[in-house]
Structure 1
Amino acid sequence: MIRPRAVVCLGLTQLVGWGVTFYLIGALGPAMTADLGWDATLVYGGFSAAIVVMALVSPAAGAAVDRWGGHVVMPAGAILSALGCALLAATHTLYLYFAAWAALGVGMRLCLYDAAFASLARAAGPAARRPMSQITLFGGLASTVMWPVGHALSEWLGWRGAALAYAALALSTVPLYLALPRRRYAAAATGHANATTGLTRTTAERRLAGTLYAIMAMLTNFLAAGNAAHLFSLLTGLGLAAAAAVSVAALWGIGQFTARLGDVIVGARLHPLTLNLAAGVVLPLCFLLALLSGGNLYATAAFTLLYGACNGLMTITRGTLPLALFDFRSYGALVGSLLIPSFLLTAAAPITYAFIIETHGTLAAMALSATLAIIISAAALILRWKFITRADEAKEKTEASNASAGATQESM
């Protein structure tokens, strides 16, 4: 069982960690580009390089959490993130700039959601779903909190001073990891064979589920990285004034937080396969709304809010689907391998969106997003269609087992 204190502490690390690493380029990127005098594609390419590094270290990072636990691995990630921010603040050359992003890439893989999910799976096994949802409540506020904070720090201290402040914030999270559980979850000796192996029983089923999961994670992360890095430009490209775009962009985080709060409250009633499909079906509609908005403030605000909600829910299912489908005992290493294509494609997202927006305009970027969202929706549908019957059977067996155990206790 994960104690509430551990959930809160881990959640706070996600709020700060996402804000000072993944969302750094969104908050400080324009000021960095203006000050360094480099092409915007080169500046945003640093973030892409960090994502490539995440892909390269992903299997080893997942295996490390499986072996030593998040209380050992995740603080190292926070320290590396702080180092990367400090190197960014000192950079004047391309070599140091990309070295800083390389450090941030390793740091992000060791201390953001995927490491946190693996840590919770190691400590709580099948019961990790609820704490996974709970920590994403905090992480979902990272953009809402840290984008305005980043802009304010940049105006006050300059972008280099803001990067140093980010480094200090990253280091401040290190003591919070002391609250994480040290012990590995051990399933009961009887009655839990299916709980440990998940819904996939054969090699072919595991391959199918792994492929569909990898496709959804890959495209969802690509959309998130591309849209997050250029959200302000996309909103102004749709016709919003700059001041309105800043306010509307904050709805991304609010949408994530609201959807995740709903999952914490009632999500336990929905199987991860069903929740994933629900978010996947709404996702293409979000981008269709943006395409048809015509610059209307309310329509673009609805797009941002709904897309934030869908992204927030699919972040949760990225953690809970492997818990339902596969053996939780090798969660970190398995997910680390499945996420390699996700990180590699995500690395291209900021540059791809920058190129499309510059050469073809905002509507073309939204059309690309809608197309990818349709593919995500189809993969979610196939995954649920293939395995939901088995999930229902497993639920019935669990309920019957619990009822039998209760009857036995009453008769004693």
Structure 2
Amino acid sequence: MITKHNRTRLQQNLSLMTKATVLLAMFVAAGGVPSAFGQSTLTSELVFPLDQRHNHAPGIVELENGELLVSWYRGSGERKADDVAVYGARKPVGSKTWSDPFRMVDTPGFPDCNTCMMIDRHNRLCLYWPVIIANTWESCLTFYKVSDQPTGKGSPEWSDGGVILLKPEDFGPKAIQVLDEEIAKLPTQLADAYSTELSDLRELLTQKLYQRLGWQPRCKPTVLPSGRILLPLYSDTYSICIMAISDDDGAHWYASKPLIGFGNIQPAVLRRDDGTLIAYMRENGPRKHIRVCESKDDGITWGPVTESVLVNPGSGLDGVRLKNGHWLLVYNDTQKGRNSLAVSISTDEGRSWKWTRHLERQEEGSYHYPAVIQGSDGTIHVVYSYFVTGGKSMKHASFDEAWVQQGKKD
């Protein structure tokens, strides 16, 4: 039996619960959510203070103990600067700041450039990067290092490493065919203006040396349900892509068929539920849109390279499949300049992009070459090159899907 006293107390409790619910709803609408509900606010910070040296092309992983590790290259330039080395920094669990940068890899006398990383199924850290042999992109070889116990302070202790040598089947005739088809679509005057360059490209496409050299990484590997590792690589010699494939946890590698679009580089690979692989690529030509290519056989062969609806100014991108099956892409959403860095989400495996929100949207500066992962707690982590008037750094941003969904909806 409910007495008058109990009824009054019940009404007071219900009133308090209603107020709490309203306050929580207001808090959520304002962009703040308690950690138990996720992180629908954006948190960002520089990995290290602005630096006058060239700091560029990051990778990011979450280690087994929950700490974040970021890699990038640093030096007085890029391929032409022999002092360039791979650096890293750590962010321990619960910390708001990053460790001081430390050197992870240095090949004395040669530039070490674009970095990417992964944690394999044995919880080993794998780092991939190109060593530039003759100060040209065409002369690079992709190297790797493996750490069995990557946690701790400073650089991981490396237990294995080497070079990924690829011997693709001769793709010259097919590539020349695609090149001629692309040229036929161009205005005659434009094609004539580049006749010397096109003649040189045709010659390079017939040479084994350049088919086997010059492949370098940018985006993280994709691991298929079978355990197959696809390490996306690209060639600035030809402006095309290829996949380095390993079916034995990285002990041996072989080459896929190339993704030939003459302007498509730096692929990020996502997998649909039906097994189709989609490669999203930087546009390095005149189209000003992200390039796309599909594989139906786990990355061995690839279809024609086409264009997506998403714009691109000639800048790197990255993507991740979220735990709920949604896809997330980070890219510069302009046709010129790198001063706007967007995050878009697809709920239909890349067929459309429903929400977009910006990590950066400034009048000046370059915010580019993102690397993205989703942590074990569901938090999305993006690290990207941050270039402003005062210097260069890496910037780290963390958020969840709800933060993106508060942005523009298509």
TM-score (norm 1): 0.27
Structure with higher RCO (Cα < 8 A, 6+ apart): 1
Q: Which has the larger radius of gyration?
A: 2
Which has the larger strand fraction?
2
TM-score (norm 2): 0.27
Which has the larger helix fraction?
1
